[in-house]
Amino acid sequence: MLWGNVTTINHHPRRKAREAVLQALYAWEISEDSPKIIFQRLMDSFFNERNDYQYAKDLFFCVVKYQDWADDLIRNHLQNWKFERVASIDRILLRMGASEIFYMDDIPPKVSISEMVEIAKVFSTEESSGFVNGILDSVFKEFQNEKITNTKDVTG
């Protein structure tokens, strides 16, 4: 068969990395260990390809570094919700999406939003994908309006 087993084709090569980062950030949220220890413990077992590993490392530490900023940004876009009531997985996906949109220039924001929505479908509740989509779309509109001119260091 020309196409092989279509269900095994990975259309989004970074999805595995994003899913691993989600799990590592969740582990960090419920752990007392440092982000560096969590990353080493969990991520080293996830990756064979160096590119995926580097991308995951960049995303993980970007979210860690800018978590307070991302939380404030997300709070500003929540309507009729308290930030503390947002499910952990959804909060983490929103942080990841906001971090990719604002700080990872090589990723188109629409791709970031789409990926977070798809991951929410797998790792969170049925309603979460729409919620994540709505908040990140609002965050993206703010990003477009601000037209950030300075580049921030992701790994520093």
Residue range 106-122, pLDDT digits in tens: 999 999 999 999 999 99
Residue 101 located in a structural domain: yes
| Contact (CB, 8 A) for 109 and 140 | yes
Q: What CATH number should be reported for the domain holding residue 34?
A: 1.10.940.10
Give me the torsion for CA of 6, 11, 14, 15, rounded to 10°. Answer: -60
What predicted TM-score, i.e. pTM, was given to this entire model? 0.84
Is residue 53 assigned to a domain? yes
Q: What letter does residue 21 receive in the DSSP assignment?
A: H
Residue 2 lies in a domain: no
On whether residue 48 sits in a domain, the answer given is: yes
**Residue 102 forms part of a structural domain:** yes
Residue 7 lies in a domain: no
* pLDDT < 70 stretches in the chain: 1-12, 47-51, 147-156
The pLDDT tens digits for 48-75 are: 656 688 899 999 999 999 999 999 999 9
Q: Is residue 152 part of a domain?
A: no
22 within a domain of the structure (yes/no): yes
Residues with Cβ within 8 Å of 65's Cβ and at least 6 positions away in sequence, in order, are 154, 156
What is the sign of the dihedral through the CA atoms of 69, 65, 102 and 108? negative
- Total count of domains within the chain: 1
Show the domain range for 54: 12-146
